[in-house]
Amino acid sequence: MAAPKAWSLSAAESASDEDLTQFVDIFIGTGGHGHTFPGPTVPFGMVQLSPDTWNVDWDHCSGYHISDTSIMGFSHTHLSGTGAADLLDVLLMPAVGPVRTEPGPRDNPTSGYRSRFSHQDEHAEPGYYSVLLKDYGIRAELTTTARVGLHRYTFPADPTSHFIVDLEHGVWNSDTKPNPTQVLSAEIKVVGNDTVVGGRRVGAWANGRYVFFAMRMSRPFSSAQIVADSKALEPSVNEAKATSLKCVLSVPTSHDEVIHVKVGISAVSVEGALRNLEAEVPASDFDGARRAAKQAWQRELSRIRIETTRADHRKIFYTALYHAMVAPSLFSDVDGQYRGMDLQVHKLPAGENNYTTFSLWDTYRALHPLYTLIQTDRLPDLLNTLIRMAEQSPAGVPVWPLYAVETGCMIGYHSAPVLAEAHIKGVKGVDYAKAYSLWRKRAFVDNYRGLIQYRDLGYIPCDQEDESVSKTLEYAYDDWAVAHLARAAGATEDYRLLLQRSRNYKNVFDGSSTFMRGRLANHQWADPFDPRGMGHSKKWRDFTESNSWQATFLNQHDLYEYMKLFGGEEGFVRKLDELFNQSSELPPDAPPDIAGMVGQYAHGNEPGHHVAYLYSYAGAHYKTQARVRFLLDTMHHADPDGLAGNEDCGQMSAWYIMSALGLYAVDPVSGNYVFGSPLFDRATIQLAGGKRLTVETVGNGADRPYIQSVSWNGNPYRKSWIRHADLIGGGTLTFHMGAQPNTGFGATPEDRPPSFA
């Protein structure tokens, strides 16, 4: 079977027996606007099984929020930290007493099948979750394999014990009257007296996606009744199709009777779900699956071992590392079949895997650079998935693909920098020439979200296209990325043209105000202009989840040319200082994504994640050190509301991981990392081929954020940056830290990071 690679620990990897899973606090991010879920999954697993507490408002994109006090049930697919909602497929809820087939409202949970719970009765760790359902006296326990969710329920003695299987449950429904248009079609079938199978097609964010399931119980149910479109069917009816389907499985229980339920899922078919179930969990060995899930997490967490005296830093770091490996998620069956972006079924060569859930607007910035260090064995599958998507999708190259559907969420097409970075870093097993032919079409041909105007005018007019300034800036970066794919493919003329186009950012820069701002089709600047505002009119927002303060620093690839627009490096540093020292006030129409404010810098949203590192290009690296350490200390906490904004499928966590290691890819396509302010006494990173990279500090401390000097493999190292090609071979990077800045470190032009190179 084609399972995710390397689930068990090798002898060499088990050399240290320290249990790193103990440092993961899965509830970090379940409060505030973190949008994470606490239920179990394995690294990059297809099944992400978790309790759902609410499915309506924005802070419940994952189905769960720490502020809630009742649970609707346990569904098998979730999104980790996104700002848009979907999934929550195949809800299962145990109960006793009268049968209710609606979940009921939060303010009156006993009117439906939901149950109250206490966080004191709740426990979560990598690969395991448990909670006491107080209204029923049922202990629920969950664990998973890659494609199967395992449930263990301990019931009281009760002749009315039963399960609700709810195929209507999903996101943005009302819990009193679910929206029937959410589910386009569904089917369910009771097989014998211990199995239920079915599936549905959903018209949600990933509009038209498919999911199928196969559910098997450890003991027979005494009866099964299907409820279709709110009508209870005759007990003799064992299958149905409708837009609203529920199934009630009666299981009279004795005191402390344990019932196991295992659920395989597939995007291909019911038969695929059954094959997944039988291949991965042939017997109901809950404890064995729990141990295997924990081992899988231990293996992945062991890729980076840190040494620190700060318990909170250890908890934040390993929770971040956990969240960095929840998505992308596996999206192919044990036999290699998967549903492609054309919604047709395809089959992979033996040993390969397909993935989904690529939040690329977010994750190209730090998560994918992190993977080039610690997930090199998985990278070919991830990258080849993106290429297959581009080949199969009627929407073209992937932007935000989910469950074989292009959601089209966010701007740009940032699968391009992910592939270009991989090529620059020498990732093998990927056909970059094929990739270029696909991404070239987006860059040169497609009529996509203002790209025609961008190609013709060099910018997108703000009176013709929404979010025009942000789109112009991000297309310029994508041009930079596609240029590198062109060079790899030998398309020299395309390479030169794309390099030139990647400087289109100049066309939305107003030199009189030194701000990025909206420009009209007649080339005039749009008025009124407020750098804190969302745009020049109510109809057209000029920026994507940001304002001009933030967009003005959305340049990752051409800093030395860019600084000239500010009159040189001194003017650029002044503008950066102004960004961080402004009032944090925002207008009433600002989206909630603009969060984690330091002045007008917004750490809670991804466009700003590189900004603290920009001082390095102007020779003021000591300011980068101070800003990065401040953000590490103030924007990440070891509590449920410990994230400054949405987790966004690992990007918020990846910023912390890379920054805590003292390394950040301002321009991932460059293949370089800029130094920041490393947080730990020592970090050892397991690289490919058994090599190790050690990052250590001397004289570090809470009040000692400044780099005094650096050495690489024992030799003095003057630069404020380092190449991936050097790090990937292994070695020791030593930072000598102090309480006062060494303003000379990284100050000379030859020691600053390269750009546009």
> What confidence category does residue 11 fall into, taking pLDDT thresholds of 50, 70 and 90?
very low
pLDDT in tens, 153-209: 999 999 999 999 999 999 875 444 444 458 999 999 999 999 999 999 999 899 999
Rounded Cα distance, 360 and 415, in Å = 6
Q: What is the pLDDT of residue 284?
A: 84
Where do we find the tokens 């500090």?
697
Rounded Cα distance, 113 and 163, in Å = 10
> What confidence category does residue 149 fall into, taking pLDDT thresholds of 50, 70 and 90?
very high
Which SS3 state, helix, strand or coil, does residue 147 take?
coil
Largest Cα separation within the chain, whole Å, is 82
Strands 731-738 and 692-698: parallel
Rounded Cα distance, 479 and 649, in Å = 25
Q: What is the reported pTM?
A: 0.96
- DSSP classification of residue 701: B
Strands 207-217 and 138-144: unpaired
Rounded Cα distance, 100 and 108, in Å = 13
> What confidence category does residue 539 fall into, taking pLDDT thresholds of 50, 70 and 90?
confident
Q: What is the average pLDDT value for the chain, to the nearest integer?
A: 95
Give the right CATH number for 21-301 from 2.70.98.10, 2.60.120.330, 3.40.50.460, 1.10.3720.10. Answer: 2.70.98.10
pLDDT in tens, 546-557: 999 999 999 999
Instruction: For the chain, give the percent of residues with pLDDT over 90.
Output: 95
What is the H or E stretch that residue 263 is in? strand 257-266
CATH topology of domain 340-345+359-751: GH92 mannosidase fold (3.30.2080)
pLDDT surpasses 50 at 561: yes
> What confidence category does residue 16 fall into, taking pLDDT thresholds of 50, 70 and 90?
low
Q: What is the pLDDT of residue 204?
A: 86
Strands 257-266 and 231-232: unpaired
Residue 753 CB: number of other CB atoms within 10 A? 24
When pLDDT is averaged across residues 14-22 and rounded to a whole number, the result is 79
When pLDDT is averaged across residues 50-75 and rounded to a whole number, the result is 96
Where do we find the tokens 């809470």?
702
> What confidence category does residue 13 fall into, taking pLDDT thresholds of 50, 70 and 90?
very low
Q: What is the pLDDT of residue 175?
A: 45
Q: Per residue in 659-682, is it b (16+ CB within 10 Å) or e — as a string?
A: bbbbbbbbbbbbbbbbbbbbbbbb
Q: For residue 672, what are the CA distances in angstroms to 215, 490, 715, 755?
A: 48, 23, 19, 10
> 530, 587 in Cβ contact below 8 A?
yes
When pLDDT is averaged across residues 625-631 and rounded to a whole number, the result is 98
User: Which residues of the chain does CATH 2.70.98.10 include?
Assistant: 21-301
Which SS3 state, helix, strand or coil, does residue 731 take?
strand
pLDDT surpasses 50 at 65: yes
pLDDT in tens, 437-478: 999 999 999 999 999 999 999 999 999 999 999 999 999 999
Specify the amino acid at residue 121: D
All residues at 6 or more sequence positions from 453 whose CB lies less than 8 Å from its CB, including other chains: 459, 460, 461, 464, 465, 521
Q: What is the pLDDT of residue 10?
A: 36
Q: What is the pLDDT of residue 179?
A: 45
Rounded Cα distance, 659 and 317, in Å = 11
Segment among 121-125, 233-237, 676-680 with least mean pLDDT = 233-237
> 71, 53 in Cβ contact below 8 A?
yes
Comparing C-alpha atoms, which of 419, 400, 403, 422 is closest to residue 411?
A: 400
When pLDDT is averaged across residues 583-591 and rounded to a whole number, the result is 95
pLDDT in tens, 496-511: 999 999 999 999 999 9
When pLDDT is averaged across residues 236-243 and rounded to a whole number, the result is 96
Where do we find the tokens 């020592």?
682
Q: What is the pLDDT of residue 540?
A: 80
When pLDDT is averaged across residues 135-146 and rounded to a whole number, the result is 98
C-alpha distance across the termini of the chain, in Å: 44
Instruction: Give the dihedral of Cα atoms 170, 174, 180, 182; nearest 10 deg.
Output: -40
pLDDT surpasses 60 at 8: no
In 237-366, where does DSSP find H-type helix? Answer: 270-280, 286-301, 311-323, 360-363
Rounded Cα distance, 654 and 326, in Å = 12
User: Which residues of the chain does CATH 3.30.2080.10 include?
Assistant: 340-345+359-751
Please work out, in degrees rounded to the nearest 5, the angle formed at the alpha carbon of residue 654 by the alpha carbons of 649 and 657.
150
Q: Taking each helix axis as running N to C, give the angle between helix 432-444 and helix 379-392, from 0 to 180 degrees, rounded to the nearest 10.
A: 40
SS3 string of 76-133? CCCCCCCCCCCCCCCEEEEECCCCCCCCCCCCCHHHCCCEECCHHHEEEECCEEEEEE
pLDDT surpasses 50 at 303: yes
48 — alpha (psi -120 to 50), left (phi > 0) or beta? beta
Q: For residue 36, what are the CA distances in angstroms to 64, 375, 517, 653?
A: 7, 22, 34, 11
